[in-house]
Amino acid sequence: MDSILDGDVQTVFENKDLVDSSTIVDQDRIYGRDEQLAAEARAFRDTLDGERPPDLLLYGPSGTGKTLTVKAVANKVKERALESGIEFDFVAVNFKTMESHTLDRAVWKLGHQTARKAGVVWDVPRSGVSTDMKYTRLYEIVDDHFDSLVFILDEIDALTGSTGADEPAYSRLLYSLSRVMSEQHVDTQLSTVVVTNYPKFRENLDSRTDSSYNPNGIHFSDYDANELIEILERRRDAFKDDALEDGVIEIVAAYGAQNEGDARRAIDLLRDAGEIANRAGDPVVTQGHVRSANDSVVKNRVLEIVGGMSVQKKLSLYAAALVAKDNEGVAPSPVVYDIYKILCEGSDMEIYTQETVNSHINKAGTYGVLESERVSGGFKSGVHLVFKFTEPVGAVLDTLSEDDRLQEIPATELGEVVKRRLRD
């Protein structure tokens, strides 16, 4: 233990921060996003002229460089603004990581992060104080400490608010932030950058929000395997010379391409492979280390998602995964419900309605396990939901099977039932 604490340990890393996906990197390490970087730079350029930058909407799949590029540009603008005597900064909040997705908690989090950037104490408690008072303190800090400020609102679609609300919490937040200058709450040039995987989130905006919130949209497409190779090559110096076996970057990129071109996951996977090599005392990261890291990442990610689910939600998801396993990752809801009922009967569990089962499965969609869409199956089938898994179906089944209550499920026999139902 002493040798570990003293740092006398062999490592494959030279600068591990470069394979931390949260690290803000220089623009020369960003590949394949020249058009988006240029659009963001043009928008932020207004700050240096003493004008308010336009609101931006960055949309596209996960891990395609949305947050990475805008932070890199904002960081560069911050350096230029400092040279010109302009107090500019940016405050980034990822709403998906918040323990509560209400408007009140979102405003508190914005205030906390803004106070940190301003170098002052955020003296507002989480509870016991109204949302309006949190807004008031936030605006005081903004007005006192910044000439220009950008709020980067990451994964804003997670900010759903309380069940049954007339509009999602993110709609009310965007309305308030889009009106803050016109209502003379601050003299600071304040603008927002919304980052989302779902560009259609605007369809749920309240009409007054949609009227006052008019961002410039910037689209980010998936990376392909070749682009991921270029991205990872720009992080190679995270490792010591000759610490990466030939083919390691290519296999990491291939796994990343399977995950819908997610560069963030690819970078994290490369780091995890290095950590596995370190734990084994190996001086070189091999393709075997990458495969081990990928297996572990997939299992841990799925376990984190499904681990806390109720047994009914697990049964619903298990039924969908069984169907998808024999149907190229796709599960039509009518077939899923048939299998779910068989699972409940075999487990002596109460059978819920198809609407409830669909809702349970869609809940898994909010965590990135699957996606759903409504399709028409023609006159006989009508309109129904189809679930498409974005995580490996085998990993989902294996993880769910670790629950004692699901271990007795005859998956092989049910597989034959699934095939018959799909044919019918």
Statement: the pTM of the whole predicted model exceeds 0.75: no
On the question of a common fold for 231-304 and 309-423, the answer reads no
Residues 6+ apart with CB under 8 A from 298: 391, 392, 395
Residues 6+ apart with CB under 8 A from 255: 265, 266, 269, 290, 294
Where is pLDDT greater, at 265 or 240? Answer: 240
List pLDDT tens digits, range 328-368.
889 999 999 999 999 998 888 899 999 999 998 987 776 67
What pLDDT is recorded for position 382? 62
What pLDDT is recorded for position 104? 95
CA–CA dist 320, 331 (Å, integer): 6
Residue 223 marked in a binding site: yes
Is CATH 3.40.50.300 the right assignment for the domain spanning 33-219?
A: yes
Q: Cβ distance 263 to 231 under 8 Å? A: yes
Q: Cβ distance 212 to 178 under 8 Å? A: yes
* Position 4 confidence tier, pLDDT thresholds 50, 70, 90: very low
Is 244's pLDDT higher than 70? yes
Q: Cβ distance 228 to 263 under 8 Å? A: yes
What pLDDT is recorded for position 7? 54
Q: Which helix (H) or strand (E) holds 153?
A: strand 148-154
Is 3's pLDDT higher than 60? no
* Position 8 confidence tier, pLDDT thresholds 50, 70, 90: low
Question: What is each CA distance from 371 to 24, 46, 189, 330, in whole angstroms?
Answer: 30, 39, 38, 10
Residue 311 identity (one-letter amino acid): V
Share of the chain above pLDDT 90, in %: 61
Is 55's pLDDT higher than 50? yes
Lowest mean pLDDT among 160-169, 259-268, 338-347, 393-402: 160-169
Residue 67 marked in a binding site: yes
What pLDDT is recorded for position 197? 87
Residue matched to tokens 């998956």 = 411
CATH dotted code for 309-423: 1.10.10.10
Residue matched to tokens 């906390």 = 112
Residue 341 identity (one-letter amino acid): K
Q: Which helix (H) or strand (E) holds 374?
A: strand 370-376
Residue 64 marked in a binding site: yes
* Position 200 confidence tier, pLDDT thresholds 50, 70, 90: confident
Residue 337 marked in a binding site: no
Query: How does the average pLDDT of the chain come out, rounded?
Result: 89
Residue 47 marked in a binding site: no
* Position 38 confidence tier, pLDDT thresholds 50, 70, 90: very high
Q: What is the 3-state secondary structure (H, E, C) of 231-258?
A: HHHCCHHHECCCCECCCHHHHHHHHHHH
Residues 6+ apart with CB under 8 A from 112: 122
Residue 382 marked in a binding site: no
> What are the residue boundaries of the structural domains of the chain, listed by start?
33-219, 231-304, 309-423
Half-sphere exposure (Cβ direction) of 380: Cα atoms closer than 13 Å = 1
What pLDDT is recorded for position 378? 44
Our CA angle for 102, 103, 107, nearest 5°, is 120
Where is pLDDT greater, at 240 or 309? Answer: 240
The CATH class given to the 231-304 domain equals mainly alpha
Question: Would you tell me the crossing angle of helices 169-179 and 103-118 to the nearest 10 degrees?
Answer: 40
Is 399's pLDDT higher than 90? no
Our CA angle for 88, 89, 93, nearest 5°, is 155
Is 130's pLDDT higher than 90? yes
Lowest mean pLDDT among 192-196, 288-292, 417-421: 417-421
Is 159's pLDDT higher than 70? yes
Q: Which helix (H) or strand (E) holds 273?
A: helix 263-280
Residue 60 identity (one-letter amino acid): G
Q: Which helix (H) or strand (E) holds 134?
A: helix 131-145
What the block records as the tokens of 41 is 């730079």
Is 377's pLDDT higher than 90? no
Length of the chain: 424
List pLDDT tens digits, range 257-275.
886 678 998 999 999 999 9
Q: Which helix (H) or strand (E) holds 81?
A: helix 66-83
What pLDDT is recorded for position 1? 43
Where is pLDDT greater, at 97 or 259? Answer: 97
Query: From edge to edge, which strands make up the β-sheet containing 56-59?
Result: 88-94, 148-154, 189-196, 56-59, 216-219
